[in-house]
Structure 1
Amino acid sequence: MTCEEFVELVTAFLEGALDEPAEHAFVEHLAECPGCERFLDQFRTTISRLGELPPESLSDDTRERLLDAFRDWPHA
């Protein structure tokens, strides 16, 4: 699994929505990649501090800028 694939699956992983092979690949990548481990920790921290942010509260432009920022997030 690449870091990009990992980032795309973070939400599904946290929701317990990955099938067994995908979850295994996710956890295996997590064990080998400190950058993705930090990303997951940051994601969990954001969720715990902000709670749920309804999608409709973001403008389309803001949503796209956030998605672009995370797509370009450095992967160690």
Structure 2
Amino acid sequence: MKIRRSWGRRGGGHEMTCQQAVNHITAYLDGALAGRDRDKLERHLEECPHCWEHLKQIEATIRVAGAGPGDDLDPLAREDLLEIYRRWRADQRPVD
């Protein structure tokens, strides 16, 4: 990933909010973010030191944690973790 950071540059504003950027970081790191969203995120990361730092923190977490237990995880524990994640994710949705 080659992102040119130009912090402090004043320009036409962001096409993506920090909240949107944070929501796309995982997909970006997984290589699952493509097209316009990827371009917008990369432009945002070039201009936003806070989101750039968040990206670096996620990358460091992935490096430290390595591959998760995957198939070694007990099926009931896996289901519990998925349910916790689903509840957390539902709480993160914006209220209209």
Q: 2:53 aligns with which of 38, 42, 47?
A: 38
Gaps of 5+ in 2: 1-15, 71-76
Structure 1 runs (4+) deviating above 2 angstroms are 52-61
Q: Which has the higher contact order (CA 8 A, sep 6+)?
A: 1
Q: 1:2 aligns with which of 17, 38, 61?
A: 17
Gaps of 5+ in 1: 72-76
Please, what TM-score do these two structures have when normalized by structure 1? 0.70
Q: Distance in 1 between matches of 2:26 and 2:82?
A: 21
Seen in structure 2, the aligned counterparts of structure 1 residues 59 and 19 have a Cα distance that, compared at 3 Å, is closer
Q: Number of residue pairs matched?
A: 66
Which residue pairs with 1:50 in the alignment? 65
Which residue pairs with 1:74 in the alignment? none
Q: CA RMSD in A?
A: 2.4
SS in 2 for 1:16: coil
Q: Percent identity?
A: 33
Please, what TM-score do these two structures have when normalized by structure 2? 0.57
* Cα shift readout 1:2-37 (whole Å, capped 9, x = no counterpart): 010011111110111112111100000000000000
